[in-house]
Amino acid sequence: MELDKAYDHSKVEEKIYKIWEDSGFFNPDSLPGDRKEPYTIIMPPPNANAPMHLGHALFVTIEDILIRYKRMRGYKTLWQPGTDHAGFETQVVFEKKLEKEGRSRFKMQREEFYKECWDFVQSNKHITENSLRRLGASCDWSRNIFTLDPEIVKVVYATFKQMFNDGLIYRGDRLGNWCFKHQTALSDLETKYEERVEPYYYLKYGPFAISTSRPETKFGDKYVVMHPDDKRYEQYKHGDKLNLEWINGPITTTVIKDQAVDMTFGTGVMTITPWHDAVDFDLAQKHKLDKEQIIDKYGKLLPIAGEFAGMKILAARPLIIEKLKQKGLLEKIDENYKHNVQTCYKCSTLIEPQIIPQWFVAMTKPLPDSRPSLRDMAIKAVIEKKVEILTEKFEKTFMHWMENLRDWPISRQIWWGIPIPVKYCADCHEPIVDTENIISQCPKCSSANLTQDTDTFDTWFSSGQWPFATLMANDARKGLGIKDQGSDFNTYFPTQVMETGWDILFFWVARMIMFSYYKTNKPPFEKVFLHGLVRDKDRQKMSKSKGNVIDPLGVIDTYGTDALRFALIFSTAAGNDIPLAEDKIKGMKHFANKLWNIARYILAIEDVGTALEPSTITGGSRPSPTGTTPADKQILAKLDVVVNSATKNMESFNLHEAAQEIYHFVWHEFADIYIEASKEQLKNEKLKASTLSTLNFSLLTILKLLHPFMPFVTEEIWSKLNQQQLLMVAAWPKN
């Protein structure tokens, strides 16, 4: 048998993937042998609309390594694939596309928009899935699912209804983060703070001095707040009324004393704008104060602003200041006030807090069946290691976040997503949960005058249920109940590992744990393995919205999937970011070629026609100790060490260490030392048998060790060795 002089991945990868896929071994139901113990990874569903980036390559590499390893160890392995409609993310991308075409969703019908967005996502979805194939992902495509598939939506709706009935979901007039551009509320996680330098104004408010960077919010200020212990304002009592001249004329203000005021900040006096500020909102709630909307949802001033009504806030600001100045109410301006402003994480538009009715999930409210709150169940699970977050660093971060958790707003005023299954009675205003869309009469007042809620769910409300929703959906498709023998949910839940990026620890992982306990009283997964971010060569974060994503398919074309995978895993400790240098990938292509040539050397000996039968060459049984040379003994001993250590590292998720030691062994022990020694030994007829046997045993073992990391080249070489079964289901080496 003669191999090509160099390994050519382009001739191999597509062919091998097809062999794997045709074998059916991606599907746990079709694996050879009697496999009882399941090992399950639910794939974090990639955003269906987004082209693949190196983050995908990294997660596929890690998860595929784990799955292939466990498959070789005889587990009933399920890697559940899927794609994500990614509500807001996708809508933003799609709206940008519309914008380029000179269109806008605000000029479209909702149905028209949804259909176009659906088609857009569907066409990109296949591209994403094929990219996963090119990366060698050995996931079970027969179970492939999409977050908007009806079986998933059904599970999501059932959870919503159950939570609503349990009083864990409520509709509230609460202050939310409002993005003017995207015309939707956002959760705190979907906003970011940006440092800006803006003028800061000191104003005369009757006898007081107040300060603000946002004079346009001040029209409705009819309360003035100070700390009860502040000696400077002793003469003012809580509830005192004062008349004073303000922007648009005389007003009456009421003194409020509250400890929330920081006496050391500014003058220790502030006025409040409950409709547009979180602290002020809380104060107003506490003291039952009036709340007035100053700015509408398009960022324009309302009639309360008098002559400024209808103006955009930023345009009005200098005019308001000018008027204050003319009235002698402006004391001074600090032009270089540095502060952080909250902005939309997608478009950096200033976030305006607004009171808008939204649906919330109560995170800290105990469950009606006497279980603790969603938040507390998740904290308990992590403390008790029912869910183990790998690396202490992330566990700490997780706990810190959980302990400060607030209620979660789950409604969005966008169109791309799962509609909230609620109707409102126009007569008695009762919200009616209608998950089947069959209710036409208000159960309370019998009115037939019902209107549909127009909001959609936060994507994470549905993807937070992904681990059990996917398995339940699989069962629904097969007509199985979740408790039936052999159902996916029964067999594969809880799953073993959740592998994902640390950047969605709060968005996703935390929510999955909470939903899972709520719904099943079990953890969704036993371990959480968080990988870092693949950064570009300037260490910049790669993201769809920044447009700096590097297409991994180009790198694969040049160097091969195995090289990319090995480069990604090679120096990747859990949780550390990875700046990917192309040189590293190139080096790993060389390694694949090295492996190829090791096999080529061994196979060539066979062709040269030694005394050995091919069966001996390819049998791969461990050489018997008698008749081996010190060199044979040494390499076999080292092989044992590597098998041992690599196995240990695979079990403890130190994949990069396993990769490194295998690499070192193959190149610098086996090739550099033993193969060189073998050339001399083969000249001696008496040593030929044991030498060949040592070479072959070592090679076969190496192929098994490397297969999870470099599946293509190892499977290809394996096939040249006339093996009966595929390497992907060969047994992991033991010693």
Q: Within positions 88 to 107, which residues make up the interface with RNA, using CB under 7 A?
A: none
Select 134 or 600, whichever has its Cβ closest to RNA: 600
Per rule CB under 7 A, is residue 272 in the interface with RNA? yes
Q: Is 18 left (phi over 0), alpha (psi -120 to 50) or beta?
A: alpha
Q: How far is the CB of 95 from RNA (least distance, A)?
A: 24
Among 122, 660, 719, 723, binds RNA (CB under 7 A): 660
Residue with tokens 């603000």: 212
Backbone angles phi, psi at 622, to 5 degrees: -65, 130
By CB under 7 A, which span of 10-18, 360-368, 590-598, 684-692 interacts with RNA?
A: 590-598
Per rule CB under 7 A, is residue 550 in the interface with RNA? no
Residue with tokens 């976030």: 351
Beta bridge partner(s), residue 626: none
Q: How far is the CB of 383 from RNA (least distance, A)?
A: 16
Per rule CB under 7 A, is residue 663 in the interface with RNA? yes
Per rule CB under 7 A, is residue 597 in the interface with RNA? yes
Per rule CB under 7 A, is residue 518 in the interface with RNA? no
By CB under 7 A, which span of 267-275, 320-328, 420-428, 697-705 interacts with RNA?
A: 267-275
| Burial (Cβ within 10 Å: 0-12, 13-18, ≥19) of residue 624 | exposed
Per rule CB under 7 A, is residue 6 in the interface with RNA? yes
Q: How far is the CB of 181 from RNA (least distance, A)?
A: 20
CA distance 488 to 1: 44
Per rule CB under 7 A, is residue 7 in the interface with RNA? yes
Q: CB under 8 Å to 626, separation ≥6 — which residues?
A: none
Q: How far is the CB of 585 from RNA (least distance, A)?
A: 8
Question: 322: which 2 tokens?
Answer: 């000018």
Q: How far is the CB of 601 from RNA (least distance, A)?
A: 3
Residues 665-704 that bind RNA (CB under 7 A): 667, 671-672, 675-676, 679
Per rule CB under 7 A, is residue 342 in the interface with RNA? yes
Per rule CB under 7 A, is residue 261 in the interface with RNA? yes
Select 49 or 561, whichever has its Cβ closest to RNA: 561
Nearest-CA neighbor of 712 among 579, 544, 588? 588
Beta bridge partner(s), residue 174: 356
State the Cα angle at 526 between 525 and 532, rounded to 5°: 80
Among 71, 214, 257, 511, binds RNA (CB under 7 A): 214
Kindly list the distances between the CA atom of residue 46 and the CA atoms of 85, 157, 650, in Å, as whole numbers in the listed order: 9, 22, 25
Contact present, 459 and 92 (Cβ < 8 Å): no
Question: 50: which 2 tokens?
Answer: 């987004």
User: What is the amino acid identity at position 623?
Assistant: P
Per rule CB under 7 A, is residue 1 in the interface with RNA? no
Per rule CB under 7 A, is residue 375 in the interface with RNA? no
Per rule CB under 7 A, is residue 118 in the interface with RNA? no
Per rule CB under 7 A, is residue 232 in the interface with RNA? no
By CB under 7 A, which span of 58-66, 446-454, 472-480, 584-592 interacts with RNA?
A: 584-592
Select 148 or 580, whichever has its Cβ closest to RNA: 580
Select 90 or 593, whichever has its Cβ closest to RNA: 593
Nearest-CA neighbor of 601 among 703, 671, 688? 671
Q: How far is the CB of 123 from RNA (least distance, A)?
A: 32
Kindly list the distances between the CA atom of residue 625 and the CA atoms of 617, 632, 687, 690, in Å, as whole numbers in the listed order: 17, 9, 12, 9
CA distance 144 to 474: 9
Q: How far is the CB of 655 from RNA (least distance, A)?
A: 10
Per rule CB under 7 A, is residue 212 in the interface with RNA? yes
CA distance 455 to 409: 12
Give the CB-side neighbour count of residue 317, counting CA atoms within 13 A.
Answer: 13
Among 122, 654, 719, 723, binds RNA (CB under 7 A): 654
Question: 268: which 2 tokens?
Answer: 């220790």
CA distance 543 to 533: 10
By CB under 7 A, which span of 133-141, 392-400, 408-416, 460-468 interacts with RNA?
A: 392-400
Q: How far is the CB of 461 from RNA (least distance, A)?
A: 18
Task: Please state, as a whole number, how many other Cβ atoms lie within 10 Å of the Cβ of residue 52.
Answer: 22
Q: Which helix (H) or strand (E) holds 389?
A: strand 388-389
Q: How far is the CB of 376 from RNA (least distance, A)?
A: 18
Q: How far is the CB of 60 from RNA (least distance, A)?
A: 20
Contact present, 729 and 32 (Cβ < 8 Å): yes
Q: How far is the CB of 143 from RNA (least distance, A)?
A: 32
Among 589, 636, 694, 711, binds RNA (CB under 7 A): 589
CA distance 649 to 643: 10
Residues 553-582 that bind RNA (CB under 7 A): 570-571, 573, 576-577, 579, 581
Q: How far is the CB of 675 from RNA (least distance, A)?
A: 4
Q: How far is the CB of 389 from RNA (least distance, A)?
A: 12
Per rule CB under 7 A, is residue 254 in the interface with RNA? no
By CB under 7 A, which span of 93-101, 476-484, 662-670, 726-734 interacts with RNA?
A: 662-670
Per rule CB under 7 A, is residue 329 in the interface with RNA? no
Among 393, 477, 478, 546, binds RNA (CB under 7 A): 393
**Residue count at the site for RNA (CB under 7 A)?**
73
Per rule CB under 7 A, is residue 723 in the interface with RNA? no
Contact track, RNA, 611-650, x by CB under 7 A: -------------------------------------x--
Kindly list the distances between the CA atom of residue 56 and the CA atoms of 43, 70, 77, 502, in Å, as whole numbers in the listed order: 11, 21, 21, 14
Q: CB under 8 Å to 130, separation ≥6 — which residues?
A: none
Backbone angles phi, psi at 331, to 5 degrees: -85, -50
Per rule CB under 7 A, is residue 5 in the interface with RNA? yes
Secondary structure of 125-162 in HEC code, one letter for each residue: HHHHHHHHHHCCCCCCHHHCEECCCHHHHHHHHHHHHH
Among 15, 238, 325, 396, binds RNA (CB under 7 A): 396
Residues 181-210 that bind RNA (CB under 7 A): 188-189, 192-193
Among 600, 623, 713, 733, binds RNA (CB under 7 A): 600
User: What is the amino acid identity at position 181?
Assistant: K
For 556, the 3-state DSSP assignment is: helix
Select 242 or 260, whichever has its Cβ closest to RNA: 260
Contact present, 490 and 476 (Cβ < 8 Å): no
Question: 235: which 2 tokens?
Answer: 């003469």
CA distance 313 to 214: 9
Per rule CB under 7 A, is residue 262 in the interface with RNA? yes
Among 96, 332, 339, 683, binds RNA (CB under 7 A): 339
Per rule CB under 7 A, is residue 548 in the interface with RNA? no
